[in-house]
Amino acid sequence: MPAAIEFQQVSRRFGSVRAVDGVNLSIAAGEFFALLGPSGSGKTTCLRLIAGFEQPSSGHVLLDGADVTGVPPYERNVNTVFQDYALFPHMTVAENVAYGLRVRRVPAGEQRKRAHEMLALVQLEGLGERSPLQLSGGQKQRVALARALINHPAVLLLDEPLGALDLKLREAMQIELKNLQRKLKITFVYVTHDQGEALSMADRVAVFDRGRIEQLDTPRGLYMRPRTAFVARFVGGANVIEGDLARRLTGAPRPFAIRAEMMSLDGSAAPSGDGQVGCEATVIDVQYHGASSRWQVCTDDGTVLAVVRAESGSAAGTYAIGGKVRVAWPAVQMVPLEETPAA
Amino acid sequence: MFGRELSTFFYRRSVFYLLLLLLPPLLWLGTVYLGSLFALLLQSFYAIDEFTATVVPKLTLATYHQLFSHPANVDIILRTLGMAIAVTLASAVIAFPLASYMARYASPRMKAFLYVGVMLPMWTSYLVKVYAWRLILAKQGILSWILTTIGLDPLLEAALTTPVIGGPSLASSYLGMFIVFVYMWLPFMILPLAAALERVPQSMVQASADLGARPWQTFHTVILPLALPGLAAGSIFTFSLTLGDYIIPNVVGAPGYFIGMMVYQQQGTAGNIPLAAAFSVVPIVLIAIYLTLARRLGAFDAL
């Protein structure tokens, strides 16, 4: 069974800028796949290459095994939920949702019926006759979703759909989207810059940086076994220790990552226990997050390390800013990283 | 000392500050524009005394009766209306592809060049342009010379022998007048249309294509409805400017009279101000009807 989407050495150049640089990936049918990365990393361009709004400068994009180079968006079995929703302001909500059927000349009665079904699916029954301009952000989002699903596409593309929503709504929508995907069994390709979203929703994630895929793995794999310093920092917010400090602590110059919640702080300068690696540092900042606190400490060679500690509720174990502490972590939790090529 | 009290007063009662700022334009609008318009309207309800050739300041409908009972007058109105409609339609058809290209496909440099190009004719005097066109369209003018050289003069002959719009030469036919009108008002149609088209977000056009609409379908279900306010604005310009114009029919065109020419003549040599006023009211009414129709058809819904 061919992959739902496949990229074979796909590049997209804009003049001298390589927005997408030799990307290979394969997305299985029914998968919830996330494209994660900072702005300008090429993830949105990849999405547009799948949708057909861009053509690759080189390489091939395959949908369901067939090369779709030169195939326009209206002939692809792929639908998109846009970041700004792109609802048509001169049509009602129901007309927006039924648009995909209207352009295929489905009879009006059936259009109405299926539009109402889709609105019920996204829990917006009764809002069919409203104008899109009268809806809240979350409602517009659902209309855009219903509109994109009405043609039963093989693949649904979502371009940072939850960016404009507040935190509570975003979290609720994440759960809804995941449930919807499970229920409909459609391949979802989800673009986001929020690693929390990608980790919680996706089956597999491709991490992008400067047009290339740094690592393609399951969320757990990305978090526990990052391959490069970029992935370690971007996905887990892990500490990356390299250079002299790495050599001093491990004997080898190879960089490694250590997750902030694996580290412990100790006020004493006592030597570390079994299997622990550590060094001395000065406290420079602390951020209170309710259930935990995130400490920033600076080692004597200038590396800033983050330590996340659960809050016990008591005031014990707090250190003043500028105070000297010892950071330590279990040696087995250290993740070796690839050498970063010289910039 | 007094200045500080004054500024505090205006700061506290911002309504008066607003009124102060609006006073000059309100005065202008009220007295110069509305006032003169009202005076005109009033004049149309007066009548001229046949014997003394002076205006009798008594309210009467005699002038309007005179306007609509003479077939020649009705002809003038219909002729002007017909020309206005033809010019509006032609301008819309010509402006749309250009405005579309300018708004959505042109590179920034090309866009700037095209905008300047569209506005450049407006930097020239109106009269110079009209007379230039008369020379271009004349029997021995450049246009007929070009057409003869490339062998298309039968086309010109056929156009000139068409009844009603033809004539001895382009410069003295309704066809020629039509060409000049369209040339003159085209920037007024292109600019609002380009502005409206530019406001259609690219993501909406892409969404339409994404959902399966072919380019033509996207055009008439998404782009055209959203560009309609721009089209309506441009058409108001072309329609009203053609209805009231009296220079172009004078310089280029067939002997038939237009409303503008009638107004000019009646208030000038004929001294029949009420009739001139009555003629002036006709375009106002026509445009009011046009605007109501446009609103009814939903031209302003997307605003």
| B298, amino acid identity | G
Q: Residue A7 burial (CB < 10 Å; 0-12/13-18/19+)?
A: buried
Q: How far apart are CA A153 and CA A29, in angstroms?
A: 12
Helix axes B108-119, B174-198, angle to 10 degrees: 140
Instruction: Tally A–B CB contacts below 8 A.
Output: 65
Cα torsion B45, B61, B236, B88: sign: negative
The whole-angstrom distance between A74's CA and the closest CA on chain B is 4
Give pLDDT tens digits for A7-42.
999 999 998 899 999 999 999 999 999 999 998 899
Q: How far apart are CA B35 and CA B42, in angstroms?
A: 10
The whole-angstrom distance between B208's CA and the closest CA on chain A is 8
Angle made by CA atoms B188, B189, B195, in degrees to the nearest 5: 95
Residue B166's pLDDT is 77
Options 2.40.50.140, 3.40.640.10, 2.30.30.110, 3.40.630.30; CATH for A238-336 is: 2.40.50.140
Residue A67's pLDDT is 93
Q: How far apart are CA A115 and CA A103, in angstroms?
A: 14
The whole-angstrom distance between A204's CA and the closest CA on chain B is 25
Q: Please, what are the domains in chain B?
A: 1-38 (no CATH), 79-271+282-296 (1.10.3720.10)
> A21: which 2 tokens?
């640089």
Helix and strand numbers, DSSP H then E, in chain B: 16, 2
Helix and strand numbers, DSSP H then E, in chain A: 10, 18
Cα torsion B128, B287, B24, B17: sign: negative
- Which residue of B211, B217, B226 is in closest CB contact with A151? B211
CA-closest candidate to residue B183, choices B196, B167, B201, B170: B170
> B256: which 2 tokens?
């038939």
Residue A340's pLDDT is 67
Cβ–Cβ of A88/B222 closer than 8 Å? yes
Instruction: Give the predicted TM-score (pTM) of the model.
Output: 0.81
Cβ–Cβ of A99/B214 closer than 8 Å? no
B289 touches chain A (CB under 8 A): no
Compute the average pLDDT of residues A44-56. 94
Options 3.90.480.20, 3.40.50.2300, 3.40.50.2000, 3.40.50.300; CATH for A5-226 is: 3.40.50.300
- Bridge partners of A258, per DSSP, are A239
Cβ–Cβ of A80/B222 closer than 8 Å? no
B225 touches chain A (CB under 8 A): yes
Cβ–Cβ of A79/B203 closer than 8 Å? no
Q: How far apart are CA B73 and CA B219, in angstroms?
A: 42
The whole-angstrom distance between B170's CA and the closest CA on chain A is 44
CA-closest candidate to residue B211, choices A189, A80, A66, A158: A80
Residue B168's pLDDT is 80
pLDDT category at A343 given cuts 50, 70, 90 is very low
Enumerate the residues of chain A whose CB falls inside 8 A of the CB of residue B222: 88
> A255: which 2 tokens?
């960089």
> Could you tell me where the DSSP H helices lie in chain A?
43-51, 93-97, 99-102, 108-121, 137-149, 167-184, 195-201, 219-224, 229-231, 243-250
A148 touches chain B (CB under 8 A): yes
A51 touches chain B (CB under 8 A): yes
B202 touches chain A (CB under 8 A): no
Enumerate the residues of chain A whose CB falls inside 8 A of the CB of residue B226: 89-90
Cβ–Cβ of A90/B301 closer than 8 Å? yes
Q: How far apart are CA B279 and CA B264, in angstroms?
A: 10
Q: What phi-psi label fits residue A9: left (phi over 0), alpha (psi between -120 and 50 degrees) or beta?
A: left
Compute the average pLDDT of residues A250-276. 78
More confident residue, A279 or B190: B190
Quote the radius of gyration of chain B (alpha carbons, Å).
24
> A219: which 2 tokens?
């969320």
Compute the average pLDDT of residues A1-8. 88
Q: Tell me if A140 sits within 8 A of A89, measured CB to CB.
A: no
Compute the average pLDDT of residues A64-69. 92
Matching CATH topology for A5-226 and A238-336?
A: no
Share of chain A above pLDDT 90, in %: 57
Strands A204-209 and A32-36 turn out to be parallel
Domain boundaries, chain A: 5-226, 238-336
Q: Tell me if B68 sits within 8 A of B74, measured CB to CB.
A: yes
Phi, psi of B48 (to 5 degrees): -95, 140
The secondary structure of A267-302 as a DSSP string is SS-PPP-TTEEEEEEEEEEEEE-SSEEEEEEEETTS
CA-closest candidate to residue A36, choices A155, A160, A164, A141: A160
pLDDT by 10s per residue, chain B, length 303: 688 888 888 888 888 888 888 998 988 888 888 888 888 888 888 888 777 777 777 888 888 888 888 888 888 899 999 999 999 999 999 999 999 999 988 999 999 999 999 999 889 999 999 999 999 988 888 888 888 889 888 888 888 888 777 778 878 888 889 999 999 999 999 999 999 999 999 999 999 999 999 999 999 999 998 898 899 989 999 999 999 898 999 888 778 888 888 888 888 877 788 888 888 889 989 999 988 988 887 777 655
Nearest CA in chain A to B229: A90
The whole-angstrom distance between B226's CA and the closest CA on chain A is 7
Nearest CA in chain B to A155: B210
Residue B84's pLDDT is 94
Tally of residues, chain B: 303
Enumerate the residues of chain B whose CB falls inside 8 A of the CB of residue A89: 226, 302
Q: How far apart are CA B264 and CA B258, in angstroms?
A: 10
Q: Which residues of B125-148 are buried (b: 16+ CB within 10 A; e: fewer)?
A: eeeebbeebbebbbeebebbeebe
Cβ–Cβ of A79/B204 closer than 8 Å? no
Cβ–Cβ of B203/A147 closer than 8 Å? no
More confident residue, A169 or B269: A169
A13 touches chain B (CB under 8 A): no
The secondary structure of A10-30 as a DSSP string is EEEEETTEEEEEEEEEEE-TT
